[in-house]
Amino acid sequence: MASGTASPELEVIGREGELSRLRDFVLGEPNERVVVLSGGPGVGKTTLWEAAVAASTEQGAHVLSARAAEAEKTLPFATLSDLFQWIPIEAGPDLPEPQRRALDVALLRAEPAGAPAKTRAIALGVLSVLRSLAVERPVLVAIDDVQWTDAASMEALAFAARRLDGESVRIMLARRPGRPTPLEQATASRATGLILEGLSLGAVRRLLATRLELVLSRRVVRQVFEGTLGNPLFVLELGRTLTEVGPPAIGEELALPDSLDELLGARASAAPKPRRALLAVALGGGLTVSELVELVGDDALEAAVERGLLLEEDGRLRPSHPLLAAALLKRVRARERRELHRALAEVVSEPARRARHLALAATLPDTELARIVAAGAAGALARGATQQAVELAEQALRLTPTGAAERHERVLELAEWLKRANEVSR
């Protein structure tokens, strides 16, 4: 998405201080290049990130935004495609032809032709586009769940970010705690952190009242607050349960489930059809509405959306919350995953994606399958998607029977591509 988001407009409760800080950041001094919103699962990073994206658009910034998704981490240039979705990449004095071409191929706007796209040309193209946009008005590059940005996008963005100087380009990242991504490492000297904590007691009360129309006594609100440490996702899931079972009697403890994961797992698994739809999206990597309908049918999709498991955005589906998908994936056996990967291979048309699903569905070596996966790897390389090429080449090798004639060639190929993947542009 380029501006705003397609999620329903929900009131942001509390967070006034954080939001005003983010507003100032976008239009402030360029010595602060990057802001990293971090905090535990469900604490409200995406909510704040969305509000900041909307506010920046309103203030006249040029906003390029993307939500990285766990299922799309293996899809090369997924994040970059989202960021550049509404940006026409045109040849001009700022964008030399090889860069335009490399970007077009990487973002699937043109077919690869001739030599594989050079990672460097793609990254330079990103830098040129950001610079030329920033001449018009301040630019905000906003990525939610940056830890799931695919490797190809990450590399290009880190390259560009390192070379930005006085330009009015800001980067806002949201992420769970963990190791900094290459993009953050590239900009560490000009980055500031914003750590989100749980909501206050008053905000928890307002959250329950506005989102679930649940008005509880002071005593029970306090129990919810203490049991969840104000984590809004946990508060909402617990609130949903309280709506069903009713509040605890005086003197009784709030029956707090062991974990948020348990609550989410139960919701994700409650009915078989929506569960399958959610699982397909979790494994599918950027599944479109028509692909999912072909796989599970209209009614399963509808039921999953109605139950609040899936959201549709720009014709693609995503889990309504990443933790919901994670909770379900944890409860699924390998066999069921493989079965679904096999079915996914039937509905996705892009060769590299199809090859990946076929590989993940297979346990044993198979000459013909290995050939298809190796072809998928070569296709990925032609797009400049080195990391994906390496992953598929590894799978192709795993599926090549011992003693097969192609084995030697595949080992050499993999070695060559691994070398290229490690030559991260500096």
Ligand X SMILES: Nc1ncnc2c1ncn2[C@@H]1O[C@H](COP(=O)(O)OP(=O)(O)OP(=O)(O)O)[C@@H](O)[C@H]1O
Closest CA to 335 of 361, 370, 365, 356: 361
User: Least distance in Å: CB of 324 to Mg ion?
Assistant: 11
CA-based end-to-end distance of the chain: 28
Q: Does 232 bind ligand X (CB under 6 A)?
A: yes
**Residue type for position 353:** R
Q: Does 143 bind ligand X (CB under 6 A)?
A: no
Exposure letters 349-360 (e unless 16+ CB within 10 A, then b):
eebbbbbbbbbb
User: What stretches of 194-288 show up as alpha helix (H) in DSSP?
Assistant: 201-212, 218-228, 232-245, 260-268, 272-284
Q: Binding residue for Mg ion (CB under 5 A) from 5, 46, 187, 228?
A: 46
Q: Does 212 bind ligand X (CB under 6 A)?
A: no
The residue among 15 and 45 lying less far from Mg ion, judged by its C-beta, is 45
**Contact range with ligand X by CB under 6 A, out of 134-142, 230-238, 355-363, 371-379:** 230-238
Rg (CA), the chain: 23
Q: Residue 198 in contact with residue 229, Cβ under 8 Å?
A: yes
**How many of the chain's residues bind Mg ion (CB under 5 A)?**
2
Q: Which residue is nearest to Mg ion (CB)?
A: 46
**Residue type for position 280:** A
The residue among 141 and 370 lying less far from Mg ion, judged by its C-beta, is 141
Q: Does 57 bind Mg ion (CB under 5 A)?
A: no
Site string for ligand X, 35-54 (x = CB under 6 A): ----x-xxxxxxx-------
User: Least distance in Å: CB of 173 to Mg ion?
Assistant: 12
> Which residues in the 396-415 window bind ligand X by CB under 6 A?
none
The residue among 13 and 126 lying less far from ligand X, judged by its C-beta, is 13
The residue among 46 and 168 lying less far from Mg ion, judged by its C-beta, is 46
The token pair at 4 is 């705003």
Closest CA to 120 of 79, 158, 156, 77: 156
Q: Does 322 bind ligand X (CB under 6 A)?
A: yes
Q: Does 181 bind ligand X (CB under 6 A)?
A: no
CA 201 centroid distance within chain: 31
* Interface residues toward Mg ion, by CB under 5 A: 45-46
